[in-house]
Structure 1
Amino acid sequence: MLRENLNDLVAFAAVARAGSFTRAAARSGVTQPVLSRAVRALEERLGVRLLARTTRAVVPTEAGERLLRIVGPQLDGIAADLSALTALRDKPAGTIRITSGEHAAASILWPALERLLPAYPDITVDVITENALTDIVSERFDAGIRMGDQVEKDMIAVRIGPALRMAVVATPAYFAARPRPRAPQDLTAHACINLHLASYGGRYAWEFEKGGRELRVRVDGPLAFSSVFLARTAALAGLGVACMPDDLVRADIAAGRLVRVLADWCAPFAGYHLYYPSRR
């Protein structure tokens, strides 16, 4: 089977459509001699004359018109397909895998995805929520979201959320039956709702700070969850004292469903960061 040089066919089609080597060269961005050599090589291989050259114009011969009808639409189709592929480079597309804690996924990641995905339908996002710190390279994640102080030093970290504060809360009925804690150490006498955080090696030791003094208190109680949302539910049910990011219970406190204590011991701290490997 005769296998023609594609560049020669492109050159022939450009000249035949332009009716001039000069105009075809200007449109295609190559020199006139290059086009002339390509068309001549094609004619020699086919053994027929494809273009009739006059002092005024260049027109296809009968063989040239037949060849143009055959290859012209196919060349146009190839050009259109290549343009479509190039367009993929100009807009976000593909799958992104992100590991995140539950609270960060709900408070930071989801609002961003809700705005992003309708505008970029070619993006697919896989969000894996887990409390443990994840090696995003070995687990083949594109990025992770964690507290700024939890991110490894060899990662690029970008802050994506405001500073956070924890809130220690319980229902008014709970505190009506027990004295409110005045200092973090008083929590050891209360029924506290624990959190399992693998990144902290097990149960979360409640962290406090006041006047430069830092305290960690290990509390006890009837319940422990790996979800701050379930801890909030348990607190609202009057089952004990819970400690969680204050944005989760701000409305409950304002409505009087929960009472906040030890607010002066809950200092702001670094919020969530998006992190990814520096080499990618």
Structure 2
Amino acid sequence: MARDNINDILVFLAVARERSFTRAAARLGMTQSALSHIVRSLENRLGVRLLQRTTRSVSPTEAGERLIQNVAPRLEEIEAEIAAVSDLGGKPAGTIRITAIDHVIDRVLWPRIAPLLPQYPDLHVEFSADYRIVDIAAERFDIGVRHGDQVDKDMIAVRLTPDVNMRIVGAPQYFAHRPLPASLPELLKHNCINLRLASSGGLYAWELRHEGQDIEARVRGQLTFSDAEHILAAALSGNGLGFLPDELVGPHIAAGRLLSAMADWCPTWPGLYAYYPSRRNSSRALALVIDAIRYTES
């Protein structure tokens, strides 16, 4: 195959994965018109349409899906081998793309990765804050972060945190004229702050546990956010109750800025893990980042 075809296939894969010429152009640092021209040229050479285009979306055709399923993994293997060979000649280099929830990036990943950057100027790290459960292979991330029970068995998993305690919290001013809830019926009468799920668009049901029984509490309230940081801010300002991990609210509880309720209803979740595909050869840059973010008991 001509080298131009390989380069053009890489462009096609970027557009297909992003389902958008606009997003793919931003990611590749090219113009939309250039990407469109490359994909059309590739389609003309192959004699088959690879993308179905509408005014609102872009999706792969059957031929396009075949390229994605059968050609993309081989190109990724080649890229991994080239990166491994390149690593033999010098310091760790390359871009490591990581997807995680915003507060995990702020409080877990960034403090551990930041000291690496001055030591390794050729190392680049791209963070993507996302509440979706991301298919890191399909979206070309190097590392994803999930709770331990959400990691696929075919992935390599590295612990980042101890197990996570959840808390139902509210500010003292919120409870100034309201009693702390002690049961599910009492909780459902409170002004609770909801989380809108990015994956389904629905509201997250608080996952409680009482006397060995798992309970999904569909709470109601005036506020709904799509991220934990804003839920925390609203709870601190006295605008309702939040259901949040102890890593976020623990310091505020200790300082008296938040009060904790229904501790015997709040579960402990498996800790956070970094996960990545099992590859025959991982780059030194990936290994360096994994070692930096790995949980070590103090």
TM over 0.5: same fold?
yes
In structure 2, what residue type is equivalent to 1:127? F
Q: 2:137 matched to 1:137?
A: yes
1:217 aligned partner: 217
Cα offsets for 1:153-174 (capped at 9, x unmatched): 2222111111111111111221
- Counterpart residue type for residue 222 of structure 1: Q
RMSD: 2.0
Partner of 1:22: none
1:274 aligns with 2:262: no
Which residue identity does 1:255 align to in structure 2? A
1:139-161 CA deviation, whole Å, 9 max, x = no partner? 11111111112222222211111
Aligned to 2:101: 101
Q: Which amino acid aligns with 1:117?
A: L
Alignment of 1:205-244 (within 5 A): 205-244=205-244
Contiguous gaps of at least 5 residues in structure 1: 1-84
1:40-94 deviations in whole A, cap 9, x for unaligned?
A: xxxxxxxxxxxxxxxxxxxxxxxxxxxxxxxxxxxxxxxxxxxxx9786343111
**Closer, same or farther in 2 for the Cα pair 1:153/1:185, shift >3 Å?**
farther
Q: Which AA in structure 1 matches 2:183?
A: A
What runs of 5+ residues in structure 2 fail to find an aligned partner?
1-84, 281-298
Q: CA deviation at 1:239?
A: 0.7
| Alignment-derived partner of residue 121 in structure 1 | 121
> Which residue matches 1:194?
194
- In structure 2, the CA distance between the partners of 1:106 and 1:132, relative to structure 1 (3 Å rule), is same
Check conservation: 2:87, 2:93, Cα contact below 8 A: no
Alignment CA distance shift 1:86-1:270 (3 Å)? closer
Q: Which amino acid aligns with 2:104?
A: A
Identity within the alignment, %: 50
Query: Computing the radius of gyration over CA atoms, which structure comes out larger, 1 or 2?
Result: 1
- Listed one character per residue, the Cα deviations across residues 27-51 of structure 1 (whole Å, up to 9, x for unaligned) are xxxxxxxxxxxxxxxxxxxxxxxxx
Pairs aligned (count): 196
8 Å contact kept, 2:147–2:269: no
Q: Work out the CA distance in 1 between the residues paired with 2:98 and 2:87.
A: 25
Report the Cα offset of residue 175 of structure 1.
1.4
State how far apart, in whole Å, the 2-side matches of 1:151 and 1:160 are: 13
- Structure 2 counterpart of 1:64: none
Partners of 2:87 and 2:180 in 1: CA distance = 62
What SS does the corresponding residue of 1:208 show, helix, strand or coil?
strand
How far apart in 1 are the matches of 2:249 and 2:227?
14
CA pair 89-256 structure 1, distance change in 2 beyond 3 A: same
**Would the alpha carbon gap of residues 242 and 125 (structure 1) be closer, same or farther in structure 2, given more than 3 Å must change?**
same
Between 1 and 2, higher relative CO (CA 8 Å, sep ≥ 6) is seen in: 2
Distance 1:86 1:277 in 2: 20
1:228-276 residue CA offsets vs partner (Å, 9 max, x unmatched): 1111111111111111111212222122221110112223221111111
Partner of 1:263: 263
Deviation string 1:189-240 (CA, Å, 9 cap, x unpaired) is 1100111233576221111123322111011101111121111111111111
User: For 1:218 and 1:104, how far apart are their aligned partners in 2?
Assistant: 25
Report the AA paired with residue 113 of structure 1.
I
2: CA distance between counterparts of 1:153 and 1:90?
33
Q: Does the 8 Å contact 2:166/2:269 carry over to 1?
A: no
Query: Counterpart in 2 of 1:146?
Result: 146
Cα distance change, pair 245–200 in 1 and its aligned pair in 2 (3 A)? farther
Whole-angstrom CA distance in 1 between matches of 2:240 and 2:267:
22
The AA in structure 2 aligned to 1:194 is N
CA contact (8 A) 1:185 1:217 kept: no
